[in-house]
Amino acid sequence: ISHEVGAAAGANIVAGVFQAVLVLGLVVIAAMVDELRAAVSLAAMAPAVFLLTNRVFSPQYLVTVLAAWAVAIALLAESPRQQLVMGLLAFGVTLANVLVYPTGVLLWPTFTAILFLLASVLTGWLIARSLALGRGVLREHPAVITGHGFGGVCGKSGSARRRWPTA
């Protein structure tokens, strides 16, 4: 299904800048986090955010997005209940994706909206869990202390701790 949306002339530029800011922000934060699970899950969310915020969406993009979610869920879910809820959100996205085309002109906008709503909730939840896991480390990162990271939003305290496994 392809429909012309009649976007304003500058909309493509704004969409591209928005997408780039989100993806690059995730990559920068993932590089600053010293907690391995948080860093890997944030890095896994980068392609998901890129594909979900792309101005053109294709159903097969969800294959990559589902793989990214699976990695992050495996690293971040703390209980079987969280695994179930996150898995049900991913299932809801997949089901809505399947129902977009066969429902025809009348209902495809509804299932598309459901798809992006559930995808946004799950992606946001996984990013928030990653940030919560790495929050203590982010507060102590030297770039944050000197004001070059998050503008002091995360606070400041002692020196950065390294939590990456050593070889």
CA-to-CA distance for 123 and 48, rounded, in angstroms? Answer: 8
- pLDDT at residue 131, rounded to an integer: 92
CA-to-CA distance for 115 and 103, rounded, in angstroms? Answer: 14
- pLDDT at residue 166, rounded to an integer: 52
- pLDDT at residue 56, rounded to an integer: 84
- pLDDT at residue 107, rounded to an integer: 86
Beta-carbon-side half-sphere exposure of residue 102 (alpha carbons within 13 Å): 5
CA-to-CA distance for 51 and 64, rounded, in angstroms? Answer: 9
The whole-model pTM stands at: 0.75
- pLDDT at residue 3, rounded to an integer: 57
- pLDDT at residue 19, rounded to an integer: 92
- Other C-beta atoms within 10 Å of 101: how many? 11
Residues 6 or more apart in contact with residue 114 via CB below 8 angstroms: 92, 96
DSSP state of 66: H
Per-residue pLDDT tens digits for 123-153: 999 999 999 998 754 444 444 333 434 333 3
- pLDDT at residue 142, rounded to an integer: 45
Task: Please report, in tens digits, the pLDDT of each residue of the chain (167 residues total).
Answer: 455 666 777 888 888 899 999 999 999 999 998 899 999 999 999 999 999 998 888 889 999 999 999 999 999 998 999 999 999 999 999 999 998 877 776 888 899 999 999 999 999 999 999 999 987 544 444 443 334 343 333 333 333 444 555 55
DSSP state of 27: H
- pLDDT at residue 5, rounded to an integer: 62
